[in-house]
Every structure is written in structure tokens, then in C-alpha cells.
Amino acid sequence: MTNRIIRVGLIGAGGNTRSRHIPGLLEQADVSIDVVANRTVESGQRVADEFNIARVAESWTDVIADESIDALCIGTWPYTHAPMTIAGLDAGKHVLCEARMAMNASQARDMLAASRRNPNQVAQIVTAPHTLPVDRTIKDLIGSGAIGDLITIDARVTAGSNFPNHDTPVHWRHDRDLSGNNIMAMGIWYEGMMRWVGPARTVHAVGQSVVQHRRNDEGHRVPMSIPDHIDIIGKLEQGGQMRFSMSTVSGHTPSNADVYIFGTEGTLHLNVDKSGKQTLYAGTRDDDGLSEVKIDPAKAGGWRVEEEFINAIRGLEPVTHTDFVTGVKYMDWTDAVTQSLRQGSAVTLP
């Protein structure tokens, strides 16, 4: 497929698809977006008109059945990701699927199995973008021994957080039937942290829904079953521990995120301020304190999901951000968090 046009079909065209995936795909040479299927034909037509897409399908199954389509970009909610991805791969399509990977780890493993029985098809999950600019620098510092052996990673994430407000609208992320076991942006931050220190071995979580109900479009009270404040501790596979707190209901937080990585010989600190600016600091036991780390532009990563997807189809590079194996790992952890919340005890990951 290196010398001909790659024809893409869109299934779901929400905000991320319109702002990132469509422009990103159209920036690639010899790529054409030929058809879109959205929640309604009318909404699909609006997307088609905006981006000059030739056809609007009545159903996502029509896109998968279209033999002229080489690749799918799935931008729907998590409850549809597994059936659409599996059907697409089995129909001979390459698949780029929006994060979160699936409703739960069982669905994620079914998706991985489909990708393995279709090894010639590219299977990619949209990556967690938050830490891309600093990932390589953090990995290089840890790999070079700058912190010694890992003691703990301590993360507090409150991006978009504010005091509790029952008047905020119901979002699909509040609905377990649509979002599954995913909680806030917990999984994508864990994906980023896995790049630095590897996966967790155990999880013990406590959480709460501070906003216990919201009103839907019909004015009915809807109970909130997905936590809006959660604290997680656990052991890591490589040794050391994790403490991870996430909240959307904490007021006057000083930063969007603060992540400390403490080791036997040094410490790293990633701060994401209220504007979204990221600053990395480091210091060893011989230093007076932490100093800012200047990120080498050659090491600074960035968003290239669509480029990586198309390059992988053309055989130019493998998928790294994010492959299905990594996706299953963050879904295993997400499931373990949910299980721990329900049973009130530590859970060991598969």
C-alpha cells in the first residue's frame, strides 16, 4: 500500500475527530477521507460539508462493509469501540480507535485477539498526549541512573478541577453504560506514567462521587456512579510504589498536575501549571535542590497519531503510541481500580 491512496472511513466524528484526526489524516500524502458515519445522517452530513467528504453512510456497518475503504478512524464512545474495531479488523481494515480503548479489560483483550488474528492490519489506539513533550527526557534520566532505584511515583492530577457543582451537565464520561470502568482521565495519565516506570503490580483505591447526581436534558436527576475524586496506591512491577490522586471537584488547586518521581539517588518533578505549561525539574542527593531540566528539542515528542497510523500502514514504522498490548495494560489497571473500589481491598493485576 506504499504507492497508492489510502482511503479512510470515519465512524463517529466528535470533537477530537474534527479537531485532530481529520486534519491530521488530510495532512498525510495520498490519504483520502471518503465516507463518514455519525450518530445521525444529519450530523454526518454536517461533518461531510465541513471537510468536503464525498459520502455519508447511514450506519457504521456500511462503512466497514465498503470494500473501497482501507482504514477506519473510530471516534465513538467507549461502549462501541470493541464491536466496531473487531468487525473492522476482521473485514480487512486498518483501525485507528479513539481512547479509551474499551469498556473493560475483557473487551480490550478481545480487540487484541482480533488484531493478532489479522496481523497484516494496523491496530492503533489514540495515545495519551499529556506527557509526550517530556516522555523521552524522563525515560532517559531514569535509564541513565539519575534517580537510582525507584522508591515511589507520586502524582496529583486536578486539570479542569473546581469546587463541586451539581448544575454541571451530564457527560458521557459520567455514564458507566457508555464509558465502562474508565474514571475521569485516570487511564490516560496511567498510560503516560507507564512509559516512565512501567506497569503496576497491585492496586488499592478509594474514591467517591462528591457530586452524587446531576440533571439530564429532560430535567431528571441522574445518579453519578463514576467517582469524581479518587486516590490510588499500589506496587510497581519494577519495584517501588505509586500514589496517584485525581479529582475534578477540588477547588483552588495550584496546578493542573504535579508528579514526583523519588529514587534512592535523585528526584524528578513534572509540574503542569494552570495554563498547561509543562516544566520538568531534577536533582540528585548531591544537589542543593531541584533545578529545571531544559528539554532538548530533538527529544521533545508531540502529537503525530495520524502520521504514525498512515506510516504504519505503509510499512514505514511500527505503532508505538499506542499499540493494543499497551492499551490492554491500562485497561487491566482500570479494571483493577474499579474492582478495588467495590471490594475495599488491594487487587493484584493479571
CATH number at residue 15: 3.40.50.720
Q: Could you tell me if 141 and 273 lie in one domain?
A: yes
Task: Determine, yes or no, domain membership for 14.
Answer: yes
Residues with Cβ within 8 Å of residue 264, at least 6 apart in sequence? 147, 148, 149, 151
pLDDT-derived band at 218 (thresholds 50, 70, 90) equals confident
Q: How many CB atoms lie within 10 A of CB 29?
A: 8
Q: Could you tell me if 208 and 315 lie in one domain?
A: no
pLDDT-derived band at 216 (thresholds 50, 70, 90) equals confident
How far is Cα 340 from Cα 184, in angstroms, rounded to an integer?
Answer: 16
Task: Determine, yes or no, domain membership for 326.
Answer: no
**pLDDT at 174 > cutoff 60:** yes
Task: Determine, yes or no, domain membership for 39.
Answer: yes
C-alpha cell at 260: 514526583
Mind giving me the DSSP string for 247-310?
A: ESS--S-S-SEEEEEEESSEEEEEEE-TT--EEEEEEETTSSS-EEPPPPTTT-----HHHHHH
Q: Which helix (H) or strand (E) holds 336?
A: helix 324-343
Q: What is the pTM of this model?
A: 0.94
| Cβ–Cβ under 8 Å, residues 160 and 248 | yes
| Cβ–Cβ under 8 Å, residues 236 and 197 | yes
Q: Could you tell me if 208 and 68 lie in one domain?
A: no
Secondary structure (3-state) at 158? coil
Q: Could you tell me if 119 and 55 lie in one domain?
A: yes
Range of the domain at 114: 6-127+304-320
Task: Determine, yes or no, domain membership for 308.
Answer: yes
How far is Cα 232 from Cα 212, in angstroms, rounded to an integer?
Answer: 20
Instruction: Give pLDDT tens digits for 128-157.
Output: 899 999 999 999 999 999 999 999 999 999
Mean pLDDT of all residues in 176-201: 95
Q: Could you tell me if 97 and 140 lie in one domain?
A: no
How far is Cα 24 from Cα 4, in angstroms, rounded to an integer?
Answer: 18
Q: Could you tell me if 140 and 81 lie in one domain?
A: no
Q: Could you tell me if 237 and 120 lie in one domain?
A: no
C-alpha cell at 96: 485507528
Task: Determine, yes or no, domain membership for 335.
Answer: no
Identity of the residue numbered 343? Q
Q: Could you tell me if 201 and 111 lie in one domain?
A: no
Percent over 90 (pLDDT), the chain: 93
Q: Could you tell me if 99 and 139 lie in one domain?
A: no
Task: Determine, yes or no, domain membership for 348.
Answer: no
Domain with 267 in it: what CATH number? 3.30.360.10
Q: Could you tell me if 91 and 193 lie in one domain?
A: no
Mean pLDDT of all residues in 169-178: 90
Q: How many CB atoms lie within 10 A of CB 124?
A: 25
Q: Could you tell me if 171 and 157 lie in one domain?
A: yes
Task: Determine, yes or no, domain membership for 23.
Answer: yes
Number of domains into which the chain is organized: 2
CA separation (Å) from 105 to 86, 126, 232, 254?
15, 17, 18, 34
Instruction: Give pLDDT tens digits for 57-104.
Output: 999 999 999 999 999 999 999 999 999 999 999 999 999 999 999 999
| Cβ–Cβ under 8 Å, residues 182 and 335 | no
Q: Could you tell me if 239 and 275 lie in one domain?
A: yes
